[in-house]
């Protein structure tokens, strides 16, 4: 079938299209209605149907694949490597599920997971899915303040964590960060379940903290039955940065997500049951949820869970994994490939990567140089794809499993099935013509797998995503253009969210952290282009003693203090690349910060229309700071 026909079916006859795709997963009870869009923009998929993510990822494969490898857990940080068959994974997940139940976790309870890339983290996610609990995985790079906000929002009954993680050989003490987060949070979890890796001291809090090892031994042979969930019950919450300091809890369903992932593994990623899939992301991000844990397992593939850097112990580590496990499909980010591009070519050349059929890249715009280099080096097609935490699976790509449509350098591709997309004018809401810049939007209903709402805040879901234009459409908050052939090109964010090495961060969240420094009176944070990371954060601060002369030594000291503060409150991922001291920030007469103008100056572009600026000399201060 031609992709255009396939796509039109999904848009013109969504109920028939998705009912057919729903046959890819197991339903304990068939659904009665494919789609309910009676209360836009809220879409409900596969109403009345009962299923379970864990059953689809593990149990249904046991009859044919019990002894096939399911999970390959590799850590170059701890020099460990362990494989789990589907039968062994089933046993470990049941042990984790029984342990959670013994601590009072039941259907609908939230379980927050704050763990490094270790097998127990995957067991915990799947165990939650098995018993109907709602997991919320928090990226291990987040510091205590960021973790505390997520604890207060999700209000978990249980937190699952570990003594420590490790990055580049440097131990990251998770338990200390977690203890501080619980101290800061208003909500106090009943229990904390801890995996001890022997990497760091792990003081226990009596009655609250529980070691996992003895519970695992106790329940290792437990047979925990699957809790069948109605398709629209909540599977997980995943927090993403917003334009305010408070992160948004993206809420996902069960049935729609399972169907979307099963379909994408066939149509987009072209995997085959029994093959090996290697996604280099982190389970703290949506890519890790969809394409480390759930997607490959639902499709009957082995999945690689990798803890470590792409250049340690050497720059050939990823390719050695591809060779050893005959990886056929690999998913990574442009930043990682740009890092590898700087390494000597022999690290790639010495490994047999002939099993690899394609490399998929996402998380940030993919430049032509990086794409061409890695495609030639590996001898495989590089397939870009564009999506968001909110969508859960790719929005734009090339569905090679439907039709071997040509890729186009600089473009992630065309809208995928189920996504009715447009590019519209920011001011008028009118649809843009070919090669006209506008905001990338999606018409409702969003297809299966996309977010249901913002956790505990339906109004924020409507206000944030669906109320930006005269007609109700979902805003991606990305600029884009569409060429004459329907290929989309993503040009960057329209809001105050930046993309650092594929990690989305709200500039307001960074600003709030910097503002807490006692010698900062005002701050503006912008994201600017970076050849390696895609974007980095740059901060401009007005010191409280700005009226008096500030020496270069004082500025350097303040910069160091601010970076350390953001490190502590948000984590290294949010740390600005530079902090500049100024005595004036560009604002409109109504007091609104002109972040786009600041960003333009940082990137050497024209500052734009400045007719509304209150004091033009503020821009001179930005220029002087950048030059100085």
Give the pLDDT confidence score for residue 307 in this predicted structure: 97
Average per-residue pLDDT for the chain: 92
The answer, yes or no, to whether residue 590 has pLDDT greater than 70, is no
- In sequence order, what DSSP letters do the residues of 117-168 get, joined into one string? S-HHHHHHHHHHHHHT-EEEE--TT--HHHHHHHHHHH--SEEEEES-EEET
Least confident among 51-55, 133-137, 509-513? 509-513
Position 611 confidence tier, pLDDT thresholds 50, 70, 90:
low
- β-partners of residue 626 are none
Name the residue with higher pLDDT: 620 or 5: 5
531 or 454, which is more confident: 454
For the stretch 470-505, pLDDT in tens is 999 999 998 899 999 999 998 877 766 777 877 777
Structural contact between residues 472 and 41, judged by C-beta atoms closer than 8 angstroms: yes
DSSP element (H, E) containing 209 = strand 209-211
Banded pLDDT at 245 (limits 50, 70, 90): low
Tens digits of per-residue pLDDT, 287-316? 999 999 999 999 999 999 999 999 999 999
Q: How many alpha carbons lie under 13 Å from residue 80 in its C-beta half-sphere?
A: 12
DSSP H/E element including 515? helix 507-515
Token pair for 23 = 């046959």
Among 212, 213, 215, 191, residue whose Cα is nearest residue 103? 191
Instruction: Give the model's pLDDT for residue 548.
Output: 52
pLDDT tens per residue, range 421-477 = 999 998 889 999 999 999 999 999 999 999 999 999 999 999 999 999 999 999 999
Find the helix or strand (DSSP H, E) in which 527 lies.
strand 520-530
Domain at 58-66+87-227: CATH code = 3.40.50.980
Quick check: 97 pLDDT over 90?
yes
Confidence band for 552, pLDDT divided at 50, 70 and 90: confident
DSSP string, 548-565: S---HHHHHHHHHHHHHH
Q: What pLDDT score was predicted for residue 181?
A: 96
Domain spanning 500-627 has what CATH number? 3.30.300.30
- Quick check: 262 pLDDT over 70? yes
- Packing angle, helices 3-12 and 14-21, rounded to 10: 110
Tokens of 435: 């090669």
Nearest one of 466, 443, 470, 438 to 453, comparing CA atoms: 466
> 239 falls in which pLDDT band (50, 70, 90)?
very high
What is residue 438's predicted lDDT score, i.e. its pLDDT? Answer: 92
Detail the DSSP E strand segments found in 334-392: 358-361, 382-384
Q: CA 511, CA 263: separation in Å to the nearest integer?
A: 40
d(CA 396, CA 346): 34
- pLDDT category of residue 183 using cuts at 50, 70 and 90: very high
* Gap between the Cα atoms of 136 and 394, Å rounded: 21
pLDDT for the residue 621: 87
Distance CA 203, CA 159 (A): 16
Q: Is residue 588 very low, low, confident or very high in pLDDT (cuts 50, 70, 90)?
A: low
Partners of 187 in beta bridges: none
Instruction: Taking residues 235-245, report their average pLDDT.
Output: 79
- The Cα–Cα gap between 477 and 426 comes to 10
Q: Taking the mean position of all CA atoms in its chain, how far away is CA 260?
A: 17
Residue 107 vs residues 101, 138, 228, 333: alpha-carbon distances, Å:
10, 20, 10, 35
Name the fold adopted by 421-493. Answer: Luciferase; domain 3 (2.30.38)
Would you kindly state where each structural domain of the chain is located, as residue ranges? 58-66+87-227, 421-493, 500-627
């Amino acid at each position: 079938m031609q992709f255009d026909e396939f796509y039109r079916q999904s848009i013109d006859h969504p109920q028939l299209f998705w009912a057919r795709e729903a046959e890819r997963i197991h339903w304990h009870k068939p659904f009665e209605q494919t789609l309910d869009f009676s209360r836009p923009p809220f879409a409900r998929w596969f109403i009345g149907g009962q299923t379970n993510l864990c059953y689809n990822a593990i149990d249904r494969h046991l009859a044919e694949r019990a002894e096939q490898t399911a999970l390959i857990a590799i850590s170059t940080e701890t020099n460990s490597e362990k494989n789990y068959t589907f039968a062994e994974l089933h046993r470990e997940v049941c042990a984790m599920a029984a342990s959670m139940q013994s601590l009072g976790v039941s259907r609908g309870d939230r379980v927050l997971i704050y763990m490094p890339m270790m097998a127990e983290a995957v067991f915990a996610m799947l165990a939650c899915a098995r018993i109907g609990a709602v997991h919320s995985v928090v990226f291990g790079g987040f510091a205590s303040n960021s973790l505390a906000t997520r604890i207060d929002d999700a209000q978990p009954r249980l937190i699952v964590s570990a003594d420590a993680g490790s990055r580049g050989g440097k131990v990251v003490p998770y338990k200390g960060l977690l203890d501080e987060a619980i101290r800061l949070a208003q909500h106090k979890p009943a229990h904390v379940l801890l995996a001890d890796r022997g990497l760091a001291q792990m003081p226990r809090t009596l009655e609250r903290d529980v070691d996992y090892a003895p519970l695992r031994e106790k329940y290792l042979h437990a047979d925990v039955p699957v809790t069948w969930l109605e398709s629209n019950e909540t599977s997980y919450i995943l927090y993403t940065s917003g334009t305010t300091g408070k992160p948004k809890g993206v809420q996902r369903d069960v049935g729609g997500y399972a169907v979307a992932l099963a379909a994408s593994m066939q149509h987009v990623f072209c995997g085959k049951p029994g093959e090996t899939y290697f996604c280099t992301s982190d389970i703290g991000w949506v890519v890790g949820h969809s394409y480390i844990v759930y997607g490959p397992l639902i499709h009957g593939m082995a999945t690689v869970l990798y803890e470590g850097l792409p250049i340690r112990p050497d720059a050939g580590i990823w390719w050695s994994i591809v060779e050893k496990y005959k990886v056929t499909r690999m998913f990574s980010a442009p930043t990682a490939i740009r890092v590898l591009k700087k390494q000597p070519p022999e690290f790639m050349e010495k490994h047999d990567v002939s099993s690899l059929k394609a490399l998929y890249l996402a998380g940030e715009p993919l430049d032509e140089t990086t794409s061409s280099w890695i495609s030639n080096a590996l001898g495989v097609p590089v397939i870009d794809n564009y999506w968001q935490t909110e969508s859960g699976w790719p929005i734009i790509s090339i569905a090679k499993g439907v039709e071997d449509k040509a890729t186009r350098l600089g473009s992630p591709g065309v809208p995928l099935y189920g996504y009715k997309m447009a590019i519209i004018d920011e001011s008028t809401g009118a649809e843009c013509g070919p090669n006209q810049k506008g905001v990338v939007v999606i018409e409702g209903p969003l297809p299966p797998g996309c977010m249901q709402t913002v956790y505990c805040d339906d109004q924020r879901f409507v206000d944030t995503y669906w109320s930006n234009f005269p007609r109700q459409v979902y805003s991606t908050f990305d600029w884009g253009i569409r060429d004459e052939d329907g290929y989309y090109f993503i040009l960057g964010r329209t809001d105050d969210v930046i993309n650092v090495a594929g990690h989305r961060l709200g500039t307001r969240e960074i600003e709030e952290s910097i503002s807490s420094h006692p010698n900062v009176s005002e701050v503006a944070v912008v994201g600017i282009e970076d050849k390696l990371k895609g974007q980095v954060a740059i901060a401009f601060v007005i010191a409280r003693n700005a009226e008096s002369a500030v020496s270069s030594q004082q500025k350097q000291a303040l910069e160091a203090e601010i970076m350390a503060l953001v490190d502590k409150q948000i984590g290294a991922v949010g740390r600005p690349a530079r902090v500049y001291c100024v005595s004036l920030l560009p604002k409109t007469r109504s007091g609104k910060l002109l972040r786009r103008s600041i960003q333009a100056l940082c990137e050497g572009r024209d500052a734009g229309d400045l007719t509304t600026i209150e004091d033009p000399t503020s821009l001179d201060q930005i220029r002087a700071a950048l030059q100085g």
